[in-house]
Every structure is written in C-alpha cells, then in structure tokens.
Amino acid sequence: MNPVEHTIPLRRADVRTRRYRGVLVIATSERAFELNEEAEFVFRAIDGAATVHDIAARLADRYRYALLDAIADTWALVEALAERNVVVTAPGQAGATSSYGWTSPSAL
C-alpha cells in the first residue's frame, strides 16, 4: 500500500449538504458543488476514521470497480475536495482507526 492509501480524509465542520433535484449539493462559505452518485458515495464514506484505501475498497465493492481504479478515483476526489476546502486530510498509519492533528493537504 502506498502512503496515499493510508491518508484519512475528514469533512470540514462548516460544510453544508443538501439534496436538490435528486443530486447531493455540498456547500462551503465560498461556493457550492454537485456530486454525482459515485462521488456522493465517497463523500458520505468520509468519516474521519476511514482511510482512502478503506473508502476505495467500499467503492470498488459497491460499483464493481477494480480496486486500483477505485483508489485512484477516490484519491482524485479527495484531492479535489481538499482544494475546495471541503475536506482536510491527515496521514494515517496502517491499521489505524482514527487520526488527530489534521493538516492541510498542501502540507503532505
């Protein structure tokens, strides 16, 4: 497993969510974003304890993706959400269930 897979994303407390016309919309103080079905699945799995690998494994199982593709897609979404101040990330450790001392993705 590479270090990216051990990264633990956490939703920011000030992010709001709402379902609008069947689509999940997430909003920060600056802007709002619509998520497709797979992105919503990943977003809802971000709980501050699950690693990127954990979330990707669930995504792969749910949508029958190859695990490596699911890891790449999950990481890409986590990076995009971090750039938009929707999530923060922390480096995790193999087997860790939670992490403290959240850092900005640019510090990783």
Q: Is 60 exceeded by the pLDDT of residue 98? A: no
CA distance 103 to 108: 8
CA distance 103 to 71: 21
Q: How confident is the model at residue 103 (pLDDT cuts 50, 70, 90)?
A: very low
Q: What is the mean pLDDT of residues 35-64?
A: 97
The predicted pLDDT at position 93 comes to: 54
The predicted pLDDT at position 1 comes to: 67
List, for residues 1-37, the tens digit of each pLDDT value.
677 889 999 999 999 999 999 999 999 999 999 999 9
15 burial via Cβ count (<10 Å: 0-12, 13-18, 19+): middle
Q: Could you give the domains of the chain?
A: 3-91 (1.10.10.1150)
Whole-number Cα distances in Å, 76 to 14, 18, 22, 29, 91: 22, 22, 24, 22, 16
